[in-house]
Every structure is written in structure tokens, then in C-alpha cells.
Amino acid sequence: MNLFKKLGITLLLISLVLSISAPAAFAFDTIKIGSLVALTGDWAAYGQTEERSGQLAVDEINAAGGVLGKQVELVVYDFRTREEDAVNAVRRMIEVDKVVAIVGANGSGINNATKSVVNALKVPQLGTVSTNPDVTVDPNTGKAYPYSFRICFTDPYQGKLIAFFAANNLERMNAAILYDIGSDYSHGLREFFIENYENYGGNIVADLAFRAGTDVDFRAQLTEIKDKKADVLILPDMGKEMALIMKQARELGMDDIIFVGGDGYGEFMWEIAGDAMENSYWINHVAPEDPAMAPFFAAYKEKYKDECKEFTNGILAYDGVYLLVDAIRRAGSEDPTAIAEALAASDHVQLHHAVITMDEFHNPKDKEGIVLIAKEGRGQFFTKIQP
């Protein structure tokens, strides 16, 4: 074989190798952000909204030029409302997919399960609606985990908001609590409600538990609450169980008791509770009537041909992506440690729903609480509170 023929074959082989490897090379030309969401299981309504909202943010960011000269790619994993699946998903998205940061999850127990992984592998995770203090702070040292963050306010603050609203705004001073014994979120919110409610002069007349995923009949607890003459029922829980509790309470003739809960509220609860939802109150992070969020709702509807029903999860996931991309931009790097340091240094970062400054515990500072009233089939803005 002559020299020119050999050279031609060599060039052809190089060309083939390059053409085969080009898609793989192109795949590395994106900055990957993980999205940890529950697409199946009891929290699917929340997770599906978070996935859609996160992708909407990515699409907008990419249309505006991306970050650091690259496009952003959202790598989505379904944790199926289970801690073990969340741990496996986080490990895979870091070790296999090479994400530089993670947005989600929306539950404190999930983030408490994954924090050991992200801190060992040194990739920042930003919880959306993960309000338990232990998500970002090591209870043994009192210091923040270097790679654990949140975009929402915490349970101590949320518990105080619920207590303040029940005692001062509603003037209901005899509270019952019905909480999920298996939930970090529920335990934390209950604890901080009790602490603050008693400081406001309120009395806890009943403090009862159930187990989510197992219990669906709450009539025994509700009968005791009725007998104790509670005038407000505090629900530091997640959607489905709260809807069943309210429905069964009204069926038992508990017409005068007022229901107050936190950010576990979901619009899908109306499908279960129906009219029992009317005139219940929910401490939240955002309000759908906020004019600043109108472009988000319009863009969401245009893209998905649907309303953003679980708007709290949607907005916090959407702005969570924007906050992570802002940190990547400020870091000037795809290095996860540099991104975590930039997140910790966030100072008056203007997002869509709020201005974010991170405190030393990786929590947003001084966010106002929004009170929603359930009325006419949806959660509506009622008032803002800041004790």
C-alpha cells in the first residue's frame, strides 16, 4: 500500500472517530444542574410542578445566552417521595451526570437524608420548601453545612408566624395540633408553634399524632379535639392528610373550628376536601397575586397549557434555578465549591419572588410570611405578617 493511500485511510478513520464522538463532546458543553423532585408518590403534584418550573427557568436563561458562555441543562431525577431513592438519585447525578449544583428537594426529611451525600461529594444543594433547621445546620456544632442551602424560610420562623397569626390575627387561644409523627417537617413546625403560641398567651388543649402513608381515618383524634373544645386546629403537615382531616372534621360537625397550616398546602387538596377547605388559612412563602410573579404564571401557562396550581413549589423551584445560575455567574466557575461559596455570599440577589441574602446558616434573611385564605376553590392572598 503506497504512502498516499495509507494517509487517506488514516484521515478517514480520524474523521469517523471525530464524527462518532462529536455528540458526546457536545454533551459536555453544557452546565448541568440537578433537579431532585417527586414525580410519583404522594408528593407528585408538587414535584411535577417543580420539574416544569425548573425547566421553564432553564429555557429562559438559555434564551438569554446561558451562563459562562454555555447553555444550562436540567438533569431531573424522581425520588418517588422516598428518602432512599433521593439518596441514590443525588449520588448518581453527582457521580455519573456530573451536575455542579442541585435544586430540590421540597421536603425536609428528604434533604436531611441527602445532605451527607452532597457534603461528602462537595456539590451544593438548594432546598426549595425544606424548612427544618437541620437541613442546613449541623445540630452538633451549630454551624452550617458547607454545601447545604435553602431558598425558603425555616420552621422556627414559620412556627412563629403560625402562632402569631392564630393568636393575634384570629384571636383563637385554644389550639389543637394534629401532626405526622414520621415527618421531620411536621415535628419541627409543631415544636416551634407550641413554643411561640404559649408565649403569645395561647393554650394547647390537644397535641395528637398520626402516621402519613398509613393513617387515613382521623375521627378518633378529631373526636378528642372536639371534646377538648379547641377553637383552632393547627395542621403542620403535607397536603393529602390535611385534606382528609378537614373533610372528616366537618363531617363530625366541627363547623366552628378554624384550620391553620403551613406551606404543606397544595391546590390539589380541594379535590379531596372540597368545601371543607373554605376559609382555612395557610402560612406561605409566596402569593399568586404578587404582580412580580405575573410573567412567571403567564409563561408557565403558555409553555404547558395549564395553570401552575402548586404555585409555592413552582415559584421556589423556578427562582431556585435562577439563584443557582446567579451563583455560577458570580463564581465565574463551574467548580461546585466555588459555586457553594458564591451561594453563601449571596447578598441582596434580586429574584422574582424576593430579594435573597443568605445568613450564616445558609437561610434567607428576614423573608415576609404570606397568609393565604382558601376561598372559592383556590388559595388567595389574605395578608402579610412579620412578627
**Could you read off the pLDDT of 167-186 as tens digits, one per residue?**
999 999 999 999 999 998 89
The 3-state DSSP class for residue 175 equals: strand
Instruction: Judge contact between 147 and 118, C-beta under 8 A.
Output: yes
314: phi then psi, degrees, rounded to nearest 5: -60, -50
Same domain as 257, residue 165: yes
Top-confidence residue, 261 or 387: 261
Residue 200, domain member (yes or no): yes
Same domain as 307, residue 196: no
Same domain as 44, residue 125: yes
Residue with cell 392528610: 241
pTM: 0.79
Please write down the HEC assignment for all residues of 321-379.
Answer: HHHHHHHHHHHCCCCHHHHHHHHHCCCCEECCCCEECECCCCCECCCCEEEEEEECCEE
Same domain as 322, residue 308: yes
Same domain as 303, residue 279: no
- Residue 106: give the domain boundaries: 27-153+289-356
Tell me, what's the pLDDT at 384? 85
Instruction: Judge contact between 149 and 126, C-beta under 8 A.
Output: yes
Mean pLDDT calculated for residue range 202-208: 98
Mean pLDDT calculated for residue range 57-85: 97
Mean pLDDT calculated for residue range 302-308: 95
pLDDT band, very low/low/confident/very high, at 368 (cuts 50, 70, 90): confident
Same domain as 91, residue 212: no
Cis peptide before 105 (omega within 30 of 0): yes
Spatial distance between the Cα atoms of 203 and 228, rounded to a whole number of angstroms: 11
Same domain as 192, residue 58: no
Residue with cell 500500500: 1
DSSP conformational letter for 177: E
Residue 344 has pLDDT above 50, yes or no: yes
Same domain as 261, residue 160: yes
Residue 113, domain member (yes or no): yes
Residue 16 has pLDDT above 50, yes or no: no
Count the domains in the chain.
Answer: 2
Q: What is the greatest pairwise CA distance in the chain?
A: 100
Summary mean pLDDT of the chain: 91
Residue 2, domain member (yes or no): no
Residue 362, domain member (yes or no): no
Q: How many Å separate Cα 196 from the centre of its chain?
A: 24
Spatial distance between the Cα atoms of 137 and 116, rounded to a whole number of angstroms: 12
What's the CATH number where 174 sits? Answer: 3.40.50.2300
Tell me, what's the pLDDT at 190? 96
Mean pLDDT calculated for residue range 35-51: 95
Beta-ladder partners of 260 = 234, 281
Same domain as 351, residue 330: yes
Same domain as 311, residue 225: no
Residue 4, domain member (yes or no): no
Mean pLDDT calculated for residue range 177-202: 94
In tens, the pLDDT along 221-240 reads 999 999 999 999 999 998 89
Same domain as 240, residue 329: no
Query: Helix, strand, coil shares of the chain as percentages rounded to 5?
Result: 45, 20, 35
pLDDT band, very low/low/confident/very high, at 28 (cuts 50, 70, 90): low
Same domain as 102, residue 43: yes
Report for 223-232, 302-311, 372-381: range of highest mean pLDDT = 223-232
